[in-house]
Structures are given as C-alpha cells and as structure tokens.
Amino acid sequence: MAAPGPADPPPASLLAVENLHVRLERGGRTRPILDGVSLALARREVLALVGEAGSGKSVLARAIVNAVPPPLRVAAGRVLFEGKDVLALGERALKSVRGNRIGFIGANPMGSLDPRLAIGEQIVHKLRSVQPGLSRAEARERVLAMMARVALPSPAARFHEAPFQFSGGMMQRVMIVDALVSEPALVIADNITQPLDVTVAAQIIRLIDSLRESLGTAFLFISSSLPVVAQIAERALVLQEGRVVEEGRVAAIAAAPREAYTRMLVARIPPIWKGVAPLPKVEGAPVLEVANAVRTYVVRRRGTFNAKNQVKAVRDVSFAVRAGENFGLVGESGCGKSTLTRLLAWLERPDGGRIAFLGRDLAALGAAEFKAMRRTFQLLLQDPYGSLPANMPVQRMIEEPLRIHGHGSADAARLAQAAMAEVGLEPELATSLPVGLSAGQRQRINIARALVLKPRLLILDETLSALDQVEQAELLELFLRLQAEHGFSYIFISHDLALVRRVCHRIAVMYLGRIVELADNATLFEAPRHPYTRALLSAMPTLEANRFPREEYLLDGEPPSPIDLPRGCAFRSRCPRAAADCAATDPRLAPFADGNAAACLHPHGGDAPARTPEAADGR
C-alpha cells in the first residue's frame, strides 16, 4: 500500500458534518432545530436529504455554508468542507466558499434574480464577485459555455433576456448555470423540482444527472419526497425533527426501511403498477355531459394598440361522467384544466359546445331553474385558507348554502349540524371562527357546505393537494364513504397521478386545451395509447421500476404557447412518433374497440380507431 505523499489531494470526503446542533432562541426559550446531525459526502457523490416540512432540511443546507439566520444559532458541531471548518471561517474566507466552491439552487427560480436585469449580466456579476481574478470577457465566455451545457436554446440571445422571458423550467436551468458556473465542488439543490411540472422536473433531473457525470460535481439533493430523490441519488439521509433517523442506499431504504418513521414514509407512497387491484367499471346513467366545449380568451398583443391574440384554453372537449363514477382530469400547467373546471362549475360559459347536467343544457336554463340546478353540482376549491369567509362562525357558514336556497333558519341549523357530524367536525366548533382551524378541518367545512345541498356531482379542484399525507388519506376515505352513502359522482382535477391511479375509474389527459386520451384506469396506466400519456407516466417519480422508461418516452422541450399552436396535431412539435401526416391533420379524440379513446394518428398499441375521428364523442 502506497503511503500518501505530502502533496496528495485532500481526503476522499468532500464534506463532513459532525454532530451539528442548531437551536432556535427566542424570548429566553431554546428549541433544538438540528440535533446532532452528522453526514459525509464524497466527491462526485449525490446524497439525498429527505424529510417532511419542518424536519430541518433547509436549516442544514444553510448551516453548511455558515448562513444560519437569527434567531437560529449553531450551538455545537463542525462542518468540514475540503478540510476546513466552514463554521470557523471569517467573512472573507467564506466568500471564497459560498457561491464559489459550494453552489446553491433553490425552489424559487423566478424570485432568485433581479427581474429588471438580463440574466447573463447577473450571472457574470456573481461569478466575478466570487472569482475576482476573472476578466469580464472570460466570465462571459464561461457563462455562455455553461448555458450551452444546460441545453438552453440559443445562449447568445438568451444571455440578454430578463427573467420574465423564461418559463419556470428554463429559469431553473438558468439557476443551474448560476450554481455551476464557478465550477463548484458541491452544489446544494434544495427542493428544485417542487415548482415544476412533472415532465419538466424529470428533464431537470436528467440534466443534473448528466452534468454531475461530466463536471464531477457532488450534489446535496434536498427533497420531501423519497420517489423524487430515488431518481438521482445513490445514498439518502432521512431527517425527522432535526435528527437523522436512517441513512443508507436509496434502493435499500425503499425496499426495506429499518426505522418506524421511514417505514411509515415508504408505506404512504402508493404503488402505481405493482399489486394494484383494478377498479370496477361503473355503468350508471350519465350525470354530466360535455360536448365539444370550447373556450377562447382574447388578449391584447403585447406592444400593440389593438391587435388581439386568441388563447385557446379549451379546445373541443367532450366527455361524460356517469352516476357513482370517479372521473380524473390530469395535465400539466397551462393544459386548460383550470379553465375547464370553471366551465364545469359554470363560473364561466363556454364559447361553443354544450354542457348538460342531468340531461339538461345549462345554457338553456332560466335563472330560477339554474339556481335549483346549481344545488346538484358543486365545486370544492384547492385553497382551504382563502375559500372560507374569515368572519363567519363555522355552523353559520354551513347554513349559508341552505339559506341561499331558501331554507328557514331552524331547518338550516338542523341540517348544518347533521352535516358537521357527517363530515367529522366536532359540534364544539359550531360557534368558532375559521381562524386557527387546520387545512383538513377547513376542507371538511367546504365539504359540509357542498353536502347540505345534496349534490349529485362534486368537482374536486386539487382539493387534496394542500393537505398533508395523513389528512389527505382521511379526506379521501370521507369522499369514498359519502359516495357509498349518497351515490355522488366525483371529478378529480389533479396533477397527482398516484392519487388518480388509486381512486379514478376513468381518466382524461389534457394537453394544450384538448383531451388527448380518455381511458379507464387500467388502460391509461398500463397500456396508454397517446405518446403524451406515456411521457407523463415516464416522468412520474416512483420507487418501483417505471413501466415507461424515460430514455424511451420522456419528452424534450416544453409545450408551445397556446397562442400559436402548431398546425395539425398540437403535440407533434414534441412527439417522438410524429410523422408527415401529423402536420396536416389535427386528430380528434377517437374511440377504440375497447371503448377508450385517444387523439392520435399513430397511437401506441397498433390498433386503429373503431370509428372515424369525426364521429368521436368520448363516451
């Protein structure tokens, strides 16, 4: 064994955190935030830090660069980075570490740069402040080179653009340039995929993985989701309330978690393919029928006086929801699901097409008839905080819909109390104001408000996404119980594919305002026909092996603007299967022999649509 010479490179460990304690000190009381955390990270390694909100992940990230803000304070411990204790460095020495040897990428790419200045100039400025020896021209060269490496299209032009001219995904690439341009040894990536859509997030993960290999940078990858880190990290550290509860290879933690907390984390992650029982087919009468719904917004073109642009938010959407059915609507931001939700809840009217409820066209109803019909379909909103009036007691809030529809106050009070019991709200809450109630309790109030009207259909617009896992599970159970008792139909509008997989009988996938695939649960997740559905599934972070490998199905680029859609099929600009005829024909949603439908000229699975595209109606 050769003895290391005096001039040998530093030890294999790049970063070592030893027994780190961080405390919150306020008003004479102290609370531990990090409680004896130790970790080691080798060069070129990706270490994941997993934990729920409040577990201390972000505080640890800050402690590593000695930037813990008051009232937090590092009470004990060492952070050895490249052999030096970062916590003992002075401000000047820190400057050569922070932003230089250690880069940082955060969850808010849009807010991280000055909105007024060109992104290139800002990154050049930052690079020269951490590496003062660099000339302006050299710094510029390096920024441009790095922009090319993260696959930002036409770097020389985009160098001069301001942050608002970038999409969220592109801006996250800019932040990666910002972090990597100084050629750091370590990059801390704090929740970087959280604000991004699932396919864009998958692209970013793929990019980071390739950069790590070519640049040899180590990554500390922080996330609250185990499936997300499983995509990129070898080794993971599970943090709970400031303590490391488990450490090991991600695959091992996922397969056989040792600690109770980690077991619970893993158990909460629903399976997508392995051991999923198929949902029964629902054969009720249609409750809601949407036929060729169209909604176009007219917006003024930027920089002109009266030139108008048309934003085609919903294009020719048709589907039907049956009694007792759970219908899923999924898609990425900008696909038109919010607009479609507003149309379904009749907060806006479609420009074309028909929305019929219980067989009656909503547009044809008179005011009184419509108000009566209003009772039968209800929308539950996403934000449990903004959706309740702040100065009304809980029971009064639940009486509100009954009073609107003309019930007497004694009658309304009785029904409201019954509804509170049914959704699991304690009677003591009747007189309290919503301030201080948890998100789950607030959503229960919303559910009770809808429930008292005895609706037939509930539209759930990301209703569960603001809740934590435990509350989510409880409310889901409540929804299913109410469905069994009252025969509700649900429309789940969600970006959470795992949730949709668990509860929805049929699912529609939207892309650029159109339903591109409408299929039953098993077909959609196991043998989807539209390439976009496959791309969505391949981008989904999972612990189990993904049936749709990214190398094969993941898309490049981002959706085109809904203002100028490509001619022919709107998806062809990103479609791996696009052929010449895709540019000529815009495929409509066409059913197959099994009753499922896709809007594609060259669907996966080989079989041709059963009927001509023009006859499609999506039922």
Using CB under 8 A, pick the residue from 52, 161, 209, 351 that binds another protein. 52
To another protein, the closest distance from the beta carbon of 350 in angstroms equals: 17
Q: How far apart are CA 201 and CA 509, in angstroms?
A: 18
Question: What spatial distance separates the first Cα and last Cα of the chain, rounded to whole Å?
Answer: 73
- Residue 127 CA to residue 489 CA, distance in Å, equals 56
Binding string, 85-124, against another protein, x = CB under 8 A? ---------------------xx-----------------
Query: Phi and psi (nearest 5°) for 491?
Result: -115, 115
**Residue 28 carries which side chain, given as an amino acid letter?**
G
Amino acid letter, 56: G
Going across the sheet that includes 72-81, the strands are 29-42, 13-26, 72-81, 84-85
When binding is defined by CB under 8 A, the residue of 231, 326, 378, 546 that contacts another protein is: 378
CB closer to another protein, 69 vs 359: 69
Residues numbered 494-533 forming contacts with another protein, rule: CB under 8 A: none
Under rule CB under 8 A, residue 235 binds another protein = no
Strand 72-81 with 13-26, pairing: antiparallel
The answer to the question of residue 243 lying near another protein (CB under 8 A) is no
**Nearer to another protein (CB atom), residue 13 or residue 194:** 194
Q: Judge contact between 48 and 233, C-beta under 8 A.
A: yes
Residue 400 in the binding site for another protein (CB under 8 A): yes
Least distance in Å: CB of 460 to another protein?
12
Give yes or no for residue 30 binding another protein (CB under 8 A).
no
Q: Which is nearer to another protein, 374 or 444 (CB)?
A: 374
Which span sits near another protein by CB under 8 A: 5-13, 84-92, 280-288, 389-397?
A: 389-397
Using CB under 8 A as the binding rule, the residues of this chain from 441 to 500 that contact another protein are 446, 449-450, 453, 466-468
In terms of phi and psi (left: phi > 0; alpha: psi -120 to 50; beta: otherwise), the region of 94 is alpha
Question: Of 315, 316, 279, 317, whose CA–CA distance to 503 is shortest?
Answer: 279
CA 353 to CA 336: how far, in whole Å? 16
The number of angstroms, rounded, from the C-alpha of 289 to the middle of its chain's C-alpha atoms is: 29
* Among candidate residues 479, 487, 524, the one with its CA nearest the CA of residue 505: 524
Least distance to another protein, CB of residue 455, Å: 10
Nearer CB in complex with another protein: 206/449: 449
| Residue with Cβ nearer another protein (205 or 453) | 453
Nearer to another protein, 201 or 467 (CB): 467
> From the CB of 190, what's the least distance to another protein, in Å?
6
For another protein, give the closer residue by CB, 49 or 519: 49
Q: Which of 13, 38, 194, 483 binds another protein (CB under 8 A)?
A: 194
| Whole-angstrom distance, CA of residue 469 vs CA of residue 473 | 6
Tokens coding 444? 């229960």
State yes or no: residue 68 binds another protein (CB under 8 A).
yes
- Residue 537 makes contact with another protein by CB under 8 A: no
Residue 487: left (phi > 0), alpha (psi -120 to 50), or beta? left
Give how many residues touch another protein by CB under 8 A: 50
Whose Cβ is closer to another protein: residue 215's or residue 392's? 392
The C-alpha angle 14, 19, 21, rounded to 5 degrees, equals 115
- Minimum Å gap between C-beta 418 and another protein is 18
Q: How far is the CB of 33 from another protein (least distance, A)?
A: 9
Q: Is the link from the previous residue into 4 a cis peptide, with omega within 30 of 0?
A: no
Question: Looking at beta carbons only, is 67 or 285 nearer to another protein?
Answer: 67
Closer Cβ to another protein, 188 or 555, answer by number:
188
Applying CB under 8 A, which of residues 46, 290, 379, 589 lies at the interface with another protein? 379
Pick from 83, 386, 557, 576: which binds another protein (CB under 8 A)? 386
C-beta separation of 424 from 444 below 8 A = yes
| 303 three-class SS | coil
Does 412 interact with another protein (rule: CB under 8 A)?
A: no
The residue within the footprint of another protein, chosen from 162, 207, 279, 345 (CB under 8 A), is 345
b/e per residue 119-129 (b: at least 16 CB within 10 A): bbbbbbebbbe
Burial class (CB in 10 A: 0-12, 13-18, 19+), 485: exposed
> Which among 152, 94, 89, 87 has a CA at the least distance from the CA of 119?
152
Greatest pairwise CA separation for the chain in angstroms = 91
- 15 scored as a contact of another protein (CB under 8 A): no
Q: Partners of 297 in the beta sheet?
A: 311
Taking CB under 8 A as the criterion, the residue among 241, 351, 383, 617 binding another protein is 383
Residue of 191, 395, 489, 521 that binds another protein (CB under 8 A): 191
Question: Rounded to whole angstroms, what are the CA distances from 479 to 166, 449, 601?
Answer: 39, 14, 38
Selected binder of another protein within 96, 438, 561, 585 (CB under 8 A): 438
62 scored as a contact of another protein (CB under 8 A): yes
Does 64 interact with another protein (rule: CB under 8 A)? no
Residue 577 Cβ vs another protein, minimum distance, rounded to whole Å:
35
Backbone phi and psi for residue 145, each to the nearest 5 degrees, phi listed first: -65, -40
For position 149 contacting another protein by CB under 8 A, the verdict is no
Select the span of 146-154, 177-185, 373-381, 494-502 touching another protein (CB under 8 A). Answer: 373-381
With contact defined as beta carbons under 8 Å apart, do 342 and 379 qualify?
no
Binding residue (CB under 8 A) for another protein from 435, 545, 551, 580:
435
| 9 vs 69, beta carbon nearer another protein | 69
DSSP 516-550: EEEEEHHHHHHS--SHHHHHHHHHS--SSPPSS-H
Pick the closer one to another protein by CB: 58 or 546. Answer: 58
Residues that bind another protein (CB under 8 A): 52-54, 57-59, 62, 68-69, 72, 106-107, 190-191, 194-195, 224, 345, 347, 371, 374-375, 378-379, 381, 383, 385-392, 400-401, 404-405, 433, 435-436, 438-439, 446, 449-450, 453, 466-468
